[in-house]
Chain A
Amino acid sequence: MEREQSLILEVNNLKKTYRNGVEAVKGIDIHLDSQEVCALLGPNGAGKTTTLKSILDLVNYEGEIKVFGKPVREVKDRISFVPEEKLFYENMDVNQSLKVLNKILTNFDNTKAEELIKYFDLPRNKKIAGFSSGMKTSAYLSFAFAQNVDLYILDEPTWGLDPIKRDDVLEMIRQLVIEGKSVLYTSHIIPEVQKIADRMYIMHKGKIHYSGSIDELKEKYKVFYMTGDVYDELGDESFYTVVKEQNKISVISNDQNQWNRLSKINEIEVDNCDLEKFFQIIIRGGLNSGVFSNSMKER
């Protein structure tokens, strides 16, 4: 109808092994539709930054990556990037950086940059190297959001920001998609993903353990809590994920018939699924997403 759906980013079987032998990314698929906010969520060391660097062609990798249906080097002027390591503007101050950006970029909106710098209350004549981490993030966001592009790739875009600014930045990201742009960002903070991501990929140790929307999570999954004894009595039931924590077993189920069966057992407590619980159980379980059968409980 009034919206055109098209594939902005397609990553197929991406693998990256660094020279020291570290397998940072172990064969992942990602896709991003237009006007979508997509989050890579995972603990530190999950492989999120390496994934972004591969997409931007900043490191060598195995696998296939297409942005707007083309190799990224052909469409770099349609992408704006906030890196995790903020070294690029180190030796400049804000004024000098703006001068450079205006010179090298045709899509740079200086008025917008000025508005953002004012909003973030950034000093104009202090070297960016001397900024706090929150100020550096603010500076990079100001420069990135002032570029009029179709895809914004942001590595930890709220790093070091206070809670009010963090919320405002999330709203700025939302405004981008309302205006027709697309956003891919990384985060390790659950509420940030909960608030604005259309689609998220939960990454852990180089693999994707879940992909989908927050709404799907709420609808398709339930969490059940029980003791080890009750769990043992369930016999042949197999679950989406199981994790044992001290004296409690947490189970995620995506099978509605199973929900009905488990709900009726007195000793089992049922809860709605949200990202916080789902993420904790998936990461602590340390398992591949998918069916984890009861027979594995001796592990």
Chain B
Amino acid sequence: MWFNINMRSPVPIYKQIKRNIYKSLLRGKIKDGEMLPSIRDLASSIRVNPNTVARAYREMESEDIVVARQGLGYIIITDRNQIRKIILEELKKDLFDHLIKYQKLGLTLDEVLEVTKTLWKENKV
């Protein structure tokens, strides 16, 4: 497994790891019942410290996305719906600063929604 990590991003590294794994799950690249790469292998592949990968895996364990099996590694035990819920929570946090900024400039909710809708349609993938 490989994905890019941006050391300069305001998003913590362990969160970038989690998000990329969520992405792989949503796209069906890894599935329920399959194993995540070992901490060492993923750390080596994406060039981050093993401690950071371990933290990402531990958090995913506490969110019931993976389960640790002694001597084997981390096994995925979740479905897409669970991941969608987590991503919606993250979206909330991501949007907070931006929305406040435009609120302070005096834009209305309708105006912001209109822009969001237009952008959403124009860039539909």
Query: Which residues does A use to contact B, with CB under 8 Å?
Result: 1-3, 33, 35-37, 171, 174, 177-178, 194-196, 198, 214-216, 218-219, 263-264, 266, 270, 272, 274
Contacts and interface: CB of A to CB of B under 8 A. Distances in A.
B49 A174 contact: yes
Contact of B38 (A2, A177, A195, A215): A2
Interface stretch (B6-14, B22-30, B79-87, B114-122): B6-14
Contact of A270 (B13, B47, B97): B97
B104 interface: yes
A270 B104 CA distance: 12
Contacts of A37: 49
Contacts of A177: 49-51
A3 B40 CA distance: 9
A35 B50 contact: yes
B90 to A, nearest CB: 12
Nearest to B12: A215
A272 B10 CA distance: 7
24 contacts: A1-B73, A1-B74, A2-B38, A2-B40, A3-B50, A33-B51, A37-B49, A171-B47, A174-B47, A174-B49, A177-B49, A178-B40, A194-B8, A196-B49, A198-B49, A214-B12, A214-B13, A215-B12, A215-B55, A216-B12, A218-B12, A263-B97, A263-B100, A272-B10
Interface of B: 7-8, 10-15, 38-40, 43-44, 47-52, 54-55, 68, 70-71, 73-74, 97, 100, 104
B13 A215 contact: yes
Contacts of A178: 40, 43-44, 49-50
A1 B70 contact: yes
Contacts of B97: 263, 270
Contacts of B10: 218, 272, 274
Contacts of A35: 49-51
A232 B104 CA distance: 21
Of all A-B residue pairs in the complex, the 5 with the closest CB atoms, nearest first, are A215-B12, A272-B10, A198-B51, A263-B100, A1-B68
Nearest to A199: B51
B51 A218 contact: no
Given A1-B68, A2-B38, A178-B43, A264 B104 contact: yes
A33 B71 CA distance: 22
A177 B71 CA distance: 20
A194 B71 CA distance: 32
B52 A198 contact: yes
B54 A3 contact: yes
A36 B51 contact: yes
Nearest to A1: B68
A264 B101 CA distance: 8
A195 B7 contact: yes
A196 B48 CA distance: 8
Contacts of A215: 12-15, 52, 55
A194 B12 CA distance: 11
A107 to B, nearest CB: 22
B5 to A, nearest CB: 11
A219 B39 contact: no
A256 to B, nearest CB: 11
